[in-house]
Structures are given as structure tokens and as C-alpha cells.
A and B are shown apart, each in its own frame.
Chain A
Amino acid sequence: MAQLISRLRVWRGAVLLLAGLYFLIPMAASVWFSIDDVNGISFDAYTGLLSAPGFTDSLVLTLELAVVTVVVLLLLLVPAMIAVRLGSPKLRPVLEVVCTLPLVVPPVALTAGLIGVLRWGPDYLMDTPFFQTFVFVQQPQFPLVLVIAYVLMALPLAYRALDSGLRAVDVRTLVEAARNCGASWPRAVFSVILPNLRGALLNASFLTLALVLGEFTTASILGYQPFAVWIYSVGNSQGQMSVAVSVLSLLITWVLLLLLAAAGRERRHKTATAS
């Protein structure tokens, strides 16, 4: 038995070591690449970041897109999912299909379709009020068409995160209890269900945030310049800076997710000891 356990430990250690090497070496090498200079070590790629042309603009645009995407996604998805649990179980397969279908349409294909639709504007709808909508959706300051694409891409991801959260709580019983205590419908949802879904909501939001921060395909083909496209364009002239930004953005998102997980754990501990 002891032999078995020690063999298991060796096996586990070997797997973790190899995986660690594969995943850490590119990160370490990238950091080294970004500070490696002919004269030794230089942090120019990091210090010059804020003053680099387009950096703040693209970052602000991406963060705005991310926030709007997360808000729209949750506003659309959460009521639908709660309603399906509570009153319309027959719609559940529909919801599942709707939230799975975007998986079979790759972002490139979705973008091709969106361009196809956007072309209808000038082709057929020039004289109708719809044309203004097409223009509005594509305005360069805040391209709503990207929000549409990102919400669709994030649907499967957010649906899964929220679904696992909803599975852990008995929504029906909670709502019935709240209703029997005289709570109104909005109150039952906002002060009973949503607090129970906190972890799932945060998880879905952060995964969506990561998706929007890194999204390149749609934005670059449609000709906008959010963060990822900026990194790409900088890569052509300043290789070090693009690598520096890539590593930084990955690390920052990771740390945020880690903090989120830690916060969720502490909260669970508190409620566990309180009850």
C-alpha cells in the first residue's frame, strides 16, 4: 500500500513538473524577451507603454466594450435562466440550443455573416430608417456590432457558468419561501436568488471579460482597434512591447481571477461557520 502511494506521488509529481515546464517556460522566456536588450537589461517596453500611441485609447475602448458586453449578457441570460427554472421548464431545451449554437459557428464565420448583413444596409435599405440603425451600430467611437458578436461568443461560456451556479441552489424552494414570507417578486429575485448566485455571476462576468479583452478575430476583420488588435499592430514595429503587453494582460487577468476565487472561498467559510 505504501509502495502504491509513493508510486502515485512520483507519477503525480512527474506530470505536474512536465506540465509546469511547458506552461511556465514560454511565460518566463517572454518576460526575458521583453527586457532583453543588446546592452543588458532594459525595461523600456514597460515604461514606454503608457505613452505609446493608441495604448490608452484601445484599452479604454476594450474595457468599455467588456463592461457593456457583460451587462447586456447578464441582463439577457439571467432572467431567462431563472424563468426557465421557475415556470417554463418546457423552454429549457430551447435555451440550451440557443446557448450551444454559437459554439458551432466560429468567430470568423460569424464575422463573415455579420459583414454580409451589414452590406444589406447600403445595398437594399438606403432610403429606409433601418439604414440609420446600421450606421449607428457601426459607429467607430463605440461599435455596437462588436458587442453583439461578443455577447454571442460568450453565451455558451456564461450559460455553463450560470447553470452550474443555479444547479447548486434550489431556486424554486427559495422563491417559494420568500413569497410565503410576503416578499414581492422583484424582492425575491434580487435579495434571495441573486445573492445565492454571486459566485456564478462573478465567474461568468470574468470569463466574459477575459474573452473580450483577448478577442482579435472579429474586431480586426471589421477594422476596429481594441486592445488585442492594438497589440497586433504594435507587434509589427515593436516586438518587445507587444510581448510585454501580452504577458502583462495574461498575468493581470489571472491574478484578478485568483482574487475572485479567494474572495468566494472566504465568503463560503463565513456562511458555513455562521449557519
Chain B
Amino acid sequence: MTTAPTPVPAPAAADLSGGPVAAGAATTAPTPEPAGRRLLRGKSWLATVPLLLFFLIGFGLPAVAIVTGAFTVSSDAETGAGSFTTANVTDSVQGAYWTALLSSIKLSALTALIGTAVGVPIAQAVLTSRFRMLREAVLTASGVLANFGGLPLAFAFVATLGNAGELTKMFHLTDHGWSLYSFTGLTVAYLYFLVPLMVLTITPALEGLRVQWREAAQNNRATGLQYWRHVALPILFPSLLGGFVLLFGSAFAAYATAAAMVGATVPLISRQIADALSGNVLVGQGNLALALSLDMIIVAVLVMAVYLPLQRRSARWLS
């Protein structure tokens, strides 16, 4: 940033710099500054050092381990341990692993789509509700469900819709072909934490929709449907896409839910990695888990890459 070469009396400086700062604008002009702030300019970056160092070690080292491990022969191999190879990566996109990756992507995309479509009306209904208690209860419950992780939820679903679950017994659902451990069953269970996540994500955007826009639309004789189709949804679109991406990532990463439904027959990449890490692979293929992790990260990065450029567009409207 700028350096202020001429020291000025403190009150004058406060007056000068107070104006633009209070208006929320970033001051890049070389306004004279009080000594305290200039001091801070020089040293403030020090406060970010612990976080960046932690990140470099805690996140950087595992990332390096994944990339290098994915392309080297694992240390338990008989020959050539530590030498470069592409075998792990090519193995990880073949056969059972490829099937698992595809089915993970399919499940995540489907649940994220349903979660987005279902979450928005719920968020809107809760937001416009007259009862503030309901609003608070739903938002906090969403926070718990979305963050608590899939394990307790999975047990709740096993108790409800599993083979010995209450609803299954009550309505004899197994006779009608229902199984919690199928693709449909997993979808229903995943939505239990994805819909709350969508409600949480989209609420700020819905709150940002101004009443005036709706009134303006109504004054021009737009129906409710037209308002949503031509005004609200285009403005919300980046937020919706962002929510979708977040849901996709969350579903894609989920492991506990599937792990707790022991009998689940759907192959998932996260479970394959966990199995490989627990030693359920052939000797010498220890690094396969790292190659699979790399696949997973690549998919997640590709999905995120769609979303980031669009985020700016929504920031322009919903600020």
C-alpha cells in the first residue's frame, strides 16, 4: 500500500481518512494517516502468518503426499518402491473403481439437483412465514443437520426405513420392493442433510431479494409465476448454482452415511478409498488410495471451477 511520508497532526488526519472509510470505500489514495495505522500497515500481515503456516503444513503436506503418492510405486511393493509410475492412476479409473466413481458422481448430481429444487421453496416458505420461532427453529435445525455429519442421520434412517425400521415394519415396505440400501434409499437419506444445507445456503440470497422488485413486477401486471421466472430466478441463478455445487461436493464427499448403512450395495468412491486405506487391497497397491483421492479432488475442482466465475455476478445484485 501507500506510504505517507509527511506526518500530520492526528485530528486532521482522522478527519481526512474518516470520510471515505466510513463510506465503506477502500482508500487507495495517498491520504495522510495517523501514526497508529501506518504502523499497522507495516506489520498487519504478521497476523496472517500463523494461519498460512498451519495451512501450508496441515494442508500442503497431505496434498503433496497425495500427488507424489499417486504417481509412485508404494513402499510395500516388492520392486521399484518409490519410483515413478502411472499405474496407480490408470488402475484408479478402471473396473470397479471407475464404476464407483461414476456412481458417486451420479448419486451426488441427482441428490444435489433434488436438494436444490426442494430446498429453495422450503427456505422461501420459512422466510416469509409469520412465525419467527419457526424460522429460527428451522435455520438452527438446518445448521445441525448440515454440519453434524451423516452418521447419526444414517442410524436414524436405518431405524426408520431399514430392514427392521419402524416404517418398513408398519407398512410392509419390503414387500413393495423398498430397500434403504439401494440407490433410491441412499438418495432419500442423503437429502436429509442436503436439503438443510441448501436452506442455509440460499437463505441470505432470498433475503437479498428486494420487496420493491416484486412490487415493480406486480405494478407491471406480472403474475407470481412471471415474477419468479423473469426477475427472481435470474438474479438467484448464481446463488442457486453455488448451492448446487456445495451440495454436490457435500454428497460426493459423504462417507459416514454410506458406511453406517452396512448392507448398502451402491459402490461409492469414498468407501473404496476407505477400504483401500484400511488395507483391503493387494500388496503393493497401497498408493492406489492416493490415486483415487486424486481422482476425487479433480472431480471436485472441476465442479467448483464452474461456480467461481459466476459468484461475482450474484454479488453485484445481492449486496
Contact = CB atoms under 8 A, between A and B. Distances in A.
Contact of A116 (B156, B290, B292): B290
B300 A106 contact: yes
Interface string B276-294: 0110000000000110111
A69 B22 CA distance: 35
Nearest to B46: A83
A104 B304 contact: yes
Contact of A12 (B62, B129, B139): B129
B40 interface: yes
B4 interface: no
Contacts of A64: none
Contact of B54 (A16, A30, A117, A151): A151
A266 B259 CA distance: 42
A117 B143 CA distance: 33
Contacts of B17: 176
A89 B62 contact: no
A53 B195 CA distance: 35
Interface string A170-214: 101100100110000100000000000000000000110011011
B61 A109 contact: no
B44 A246 contact: no
B270 A108 contact: yes
Contacts of A254: 140-141, 144
Contacts of A23: 141, 145, 192
B304 A103 contact: yes
Contacts of A215: 149
B269 to A, nearest CB: 8
Contact of B166 (A32, A173, A216, A242): A32
A170 B22 contact: yes
Nearest to B128: A12
A59 interface: no
B24 to A, nearest CB: 7
Nearest to A183: B36
Nearest to B41: A87
Nearest to A211: B147
Interface string B254-283: 011001100000000010011001100000
B71 interface: no
Nearest to B26: A89
A95 B255 CA distance: 28
Interface residues of A, number: 99
B103 interface: no
Contacts of A75: 50
A88 B165 contact: no
Interface string A13-32: 00110010011011101101
Interface in A195-242: 206-207, 210-211, 213-217, 220-221, 228, 231-232, 235, 239, 242
A98 B14 CA distance: 34
A30 B151 contact: no
A79 B45 CA distance: 10
Given A176-B37, A261-B136, A108 B141 contact: no
Interface string B1-26: 10000000010001001100110101
Given A23-B141, A148-B54, A214-B152, 19 more contacts: A15-B122, A26-B157, A79-B50, A83-B44, A88-B48, A107-B253, A108-B253, A110-B62, A119-B75, A148-B58, A173-B21, A206-B143, A210-B147, A216-B150, A217-B274, A232-B151, A232-B259, A249-B148, A260-B140
Interface of A: 4, 8, 11-12, 15-16, 19, 22-23, 25-27, 29-30, 32-34, 36, 75-77, 79-80, 82-84, 86-91, 94-95, 98, 101-117, 119-120, 123, 148-149, 151-152, 157, 164, 170, 172-173, 176, 179-180, 185, 206-207, 210-211, 213-217, 220-221, 228, 231-232, 235, 239, 242-243, 245-247, 249-250, 253-254, 257-258, 260-262, 265
20 contacts: A23-B141, A26-B156, A30-B156, A33-B160, A79-B50, A87-B41, A104-B304, A105-B297, A106-B270, A108-B296, A109-B66, A109-B296, A120-B65, A149-B58, A211-B149, A221-B274, A228-B152, A232-B260, A249-B152, A261-B139
CB-CB nearest 4 A-B residue pairs? A113-B62, A87-B44, A116-B65, A106-B253
